[in-house]
Amino acid sequence: MVRRHRPTPERILRCPQCRSTDVFTDVTMFSGALYTCKQCGYKGPFILEEDVPSQPPPLPEGSSEDLP
């Protein structure tokens, strides 16, 4: 049996206070990580994650959706 791995989607980290994406992992601890936001100065273990929207595959040339 062949197992195929699904690609994991890329994630965007967002600050829970100001929703900025200018967030980095400050310290990694035994029980998790602490994050710091460069915009508002938030420091804490809670962070928002969202998937990067994937781009739809390009349509072949000459398809009917190219017409106005």
As averages over each run of 10 residues, the pLDDT of the chain (68 residues) reads: 69 94 85 90 93 72 57
- Residue 28 inside a domain? The answer is yes
Cβ neighbours, 10 Å, residue 33: 12
pLDDT of residue 60: 72
Kindly state whether residue 18 falls inside one of the protein's structural domains. Answer: yes
Give residue 22's domain range: 11-48
For residue 66, the SS3 value is: helix
pLDDT of residue 63: 57
Would 41 be classed as within a structural domain?
A: yes
Q: How many domains does the chain have?
A: 1
27 falls within a domain: yes
Q: What's residue 51's pLDDT? A: 86
Structural domain contains residue 64:
no
Q: By 3-state DSSP, what share of the chain in percent is helix, strand and coil, each rounded to 5?
A: 5, 35, 60
DSSP-based three-state secondary structure for 61: coil
pLDDT at 11 (0 to 100): 87
Asked whether the whole model's pTM tops 0.85, one would answer: no
